[in-house]
Amino acid sequence: MNTIQIPFALLLTFALAIFTWLAWSRLTLLSIGRAENRFDRPLKRLKAVLLDAIGQRRVISRPFGFNHLVIFWSFLLLGLANGEFIVQGLFPGFSLGEFLPSQMHHALLACFDVVSLLVLLAVATATFRRTLIRPSCLEGDYVSGRSSDAFLILGAIAVLMLAYLGLHASEIALGRESSAGWMPVSNALAGLLSTLPRTSFLEPLASICWWLHALVLLAFLCYLPASKHMHVLTAIPNCFFRTLGRANTQKKGEFTPGASYGVAAVNDFSWKDLLDSFACTECGRCQEACPARVTGKSLNPRQVIHAIKCNLMANADSLRLGGRPELPLVGDPAEATLDEKAIWGCTTCGACMAACPVCIEQMPKIVELRRHLVQMKSSFPEELLGFFENVENRANPWGIAPGERTKWAANMEARPYLQGETEYLFYVGCAGAFDSRNKQVTSAVARILDAAGVSWGVLGREEKCCGDSVRRLGNEYLFDQLARENVALLRERGVRKIVTHCPHCFSVLKNDYRQFGLEVEVIHHSELIRDLIAQGRLQPENIGDRTGATFFHDSCYLGRHNDVYEAPRQVLAAATGSVPMEMARNLQNSFCCGAGGGRMWLEEHEGERINRERVTEALSSKPDTICVSCPYCLTMFEDGLKDKEATDVKVYDIAEVVALGIRSAVQ
């Protein structure tokens, strides 16, 4: 037996045992999580894997992502080379060439050789970025010391590539490699080594490179499951088990006597939530996109996922024995893994989920944590007490009498919805009915519908809050009550089509209410107005000279949550005669106004106000008009402009812009 076979076989056995034990000890913890069906629509899930995991779609959406693409695809390709290397260590003389046509084998050798060099360049680039550029998305690594883990892995990869090239260059220089012509990089290195002594240098160099490659490869195998690089094993499955459709990530509460609601401890999460924690690459893209983090709040979505993993591992022994966790998940930061205060910073904008390259679902976990705090501990910000009471007692956030819901229509006719006669139910929403500024938007929508000859009606005083903010703030019981009552009313009235100008109402009626059995067509006013213009039923005058330089802001709940991006832009283009200008962060990467997730009803006590951050960005482009498609965004922009004393900049909903061009026709 070859002198390397026995020691290598022993080392390989030892490494595989450690790898298996570490990976198994972590992955079996997933069984502690709640059951959840993530096996439906397998073809669609496979498509997500091909696009996001294999194709690295989200990774390469940013310039530096291409560097990771090189490392990822090289990792897959060099897996064959390392597999061959391991088998050769056990059975000297083995070669893939024995099983492949010679041309294919030669092509593989060339790929292995060139790709090894590409990986070295990619590793050098990553090291340069981490040491000299130090991007903000990785700032947590430098503070916590987790950056050393990345440097260790980068170093290991570099040594593997150098050892691979050094081994083959030595073999070529020694005349032992028959396929030298197909290995351009190794062949070039061999030319430099060929003048060196054979016995005293080349032979030892080949042996050193072989063992260096073997030891680093096996050490890497042992280290991988114990580090953040376990995502190598979990990222692809995590993409497969992702939620199909971001708007449907909210789980429905089930209410039974004596039950516990929301997430109190790490084992209250589902198995997919726990898989998310092991799939996290800690790339920092979520924290870079998070409006709370960007404006100096305690919340960091990256840290939330990392904290879940740390808490799971800290409580692993107790949980395996069927006990409760010993280390609290949420509470005082001196005693728990997550700071309770941070949980309330989330605007549920979904930017973290859209940015994550491995499809982690940060936002729903935060809402689940809120649910437990609200429903089981009555622990929530003081400002929410009045909000919850108003919604519960009067079905709107302001606590205004239901009879006031139609006062927005004081100067026009607001027709009641009649089953069999009315085509669209105009779901006005609380902001559109009670907020003085947003009443103007409601009137504008009504004038547009009248001008186009659309048959519409309202529920009037019977309309109730849709419950969006209530649900995102964690009061699932109150939301459940509102949803059931609203669904019953909509069914009783025979509603088949709904139009709303609030993206939050739109998203709840379209997505959340399906959990309660409601199946109706729900359309946002931007989509309906676009269709009416396209059909020729609405012909607004060009008012571009009155709006000037017009910029459009994407609503999170219309865009990221429901993929409606083009409709409002097409409406503005038709109304102003030109495509609206874009802010620096737009479309999928749009920056939140700060009012979602129930933050509309909460004060910001940390850092900069989110709406000021967004307004500052908007003002940098010197707009005359900022257009929105959401009542919350309208309020937040107007407040932000007042804070900045930019009173010369106008803020309109897209419906108001269209209505300006049809006013003479409908008055």
Q: Which pTM was predicted? A: 0.90
Q: Do residues 550 and 624 make contact, with C-beta atoms less than 8 angstroms apart? A: yes
Q: Which residues is 581 bridged to in the sheet?
A: 551
Percent of the chain scored above 70 by pLDDT?
96
The span from the CA of 631 to the CA of 634, in Å, is 5
Q: Is residue 254 part of a domain?
A: no
Q: Which residue type is seen at 206?
A: A
Local confidence band at 379 (pLDDT 50, 70, 90 cut-offs): very high
Residue 182 DSSP class: G
CATH of the domain at 324: 1.10.1060
The span from the CA of 266 to the CA of 335, in Å, is 15
Please give the pLDDT value at position 143.
44
Q: Is residue 245 part of a domain?
A: no
Local confidence band at 142 (pLDDT 50, 70, 90 cut-offs): very low
605 and 501 in a common domain? yes
Asked if residue 664 has pLDDT above 50, the reply is no
Please write the tens of the pLDDT for every residue from 268-282: 999 999 999 999 988
Cα separations (Å) of 187 from 169, 177, 199, 256, 431?
A: 6, 10, 20, 71, 72
The span from the CA of 558 to the CA of 634, in Å, is 14
Q: Do residues 629 and 652 make contact, with C-beta atoms less than 8 angstroms apart? A: no
390 and 340 in a common domain? no
Q: Do residues 253 and 480 make contact, with C-beta atoms less than 8 angstroms apart? A: yes
Residue showing tokens 């509603």: 495
Q: At what angle do helices 301-314 and 271-279 cross, to 10 degrees?
A: 110
Q: Which residues is 456 bridged to in the sheet?
A: 424
Among 319, 340, 375, the domain boundary falls at: 375
CATH of the domain at 227: 1.20.950
Local confidence band at 410 (pLDDT 50, 70, 90 cut-offs): confident
Query: Residue range 619-641: average pLDDT?
Result: 95
Q: Is residue 246 part of a domain?
A: no
Local confidence band at 666 (pLDDT 50, 70, 90 cut-offs): very low
468 and 327 in a common domain? no
Query: Residue range 610-630: average pLDDT?
Result: 95
Higher pLDDT, 477 or 202: 477
Please give the pLDDT value at position 414.
83
Query: Residue range 556-566: average pLDDT?
Result: 95
Query: Residue range 131-150: average pLDDT?
Result: 64
Please give the pLDDT value at position 453.
92
Among 240, 267, 297, the domain boundary falls at: 240
Please return the burial class of 644, using the count of CB atoms within 10 Å of its CB with bins 0-12, 13-18 and 19+: middle
Q: Look at the alpha carbons of 632, 637, 643, 647 in this order and tell me if their dihedral is positive or negative.
A: negative
Asked if residue 663 has pLDDT above 80, the reply is no
Query: Residue range 548-574: average pLDDT?
Result: 95
| Domains in the chain, number | 3
Among 240, 269, 302, the domain boundary falls at: 240
Q: Is residue 537 part of a domain?
A: yes
425 and 360 in a common domain? no
Asked if residue 336 has pLDDT above 70, the reply is yes
469 and 400 in a common domain? yes
Q: Is residue 543 part of a domain?
A: yes
Local confidence band at 59 (pLDDT 50, 70, 90 cut-offs): confident
Query: Which range, 89-103, 143-157, 398-412, is most confident?
Result: 398-412
CA torsion angle for 101, 106, 110, 113 (degrees, to 10)?
100
Q: Do residues 400 and 434 make contact, with C-beta atoms less than 8 angstroms apart? A: yes
| Cα end-to-end span (Å), the chain | 98
Query: Residue range 149-154: average pLDDT?
Result: 81
577 and 458 in a common domain? yes
Q: Helix and strand tally (H, E) in the chain?
A: 30, 10
Please write the tens of the pLDDT for every residue from 168-216: 888 888 887 777 778 888 888 888 887 777 777 888 888 899 999 999 9
Please report the DSSP string for 506-571 in residue order.
Answer: HHHHHTGGGGGT---EEEEHHHHHHHHHHTTS------HHHH-SEEE---TTTTTTT---HHHHHH
Range of the domain at 276: 259-375
441 and 329 in a common domain? no
635 and 580 in a common domain? yes
Higher pLDDT, 17 or 88: 17
511 and 392 in a common domain? yes
Please give the pLDDT value at position 376.
92
Q: Is residue 112 part of a domain?
A: yes
Q: Is residue 252 part of a domain?
A: no
Q: Is residue 253 part of a domain?
A: no
Question: Which helix (H) or strand (E) element contains residue 634?
Answer: helix 631-643
Mean of pLDDT over the chain: 90
303 and 178 in a common domain? no
Query: Residue range 4-24: average pLDDT?
Result: 91
Residue 328 DSSP class: -
451 and 414 in a common domain? yes
Please write the tens of the pLDDT for every residue from 282-322: 888 999 999 999 999 999 999 999 999 999 999 999 999 88
The span from the CA of 349 to the CA of 198, in Å, is 65
Query: Residue range 24-47: average pLDDT?
Result: 93
Please give the pLDDT value at position 145.
52
Higher pLDDT, 658 or 68: 658
Please give the pLDDT value at position 1.
43
317 and 455 in a common domain? no
Local confidence band at 138 (pLDDT 50, 70, 90 cut-offs): low
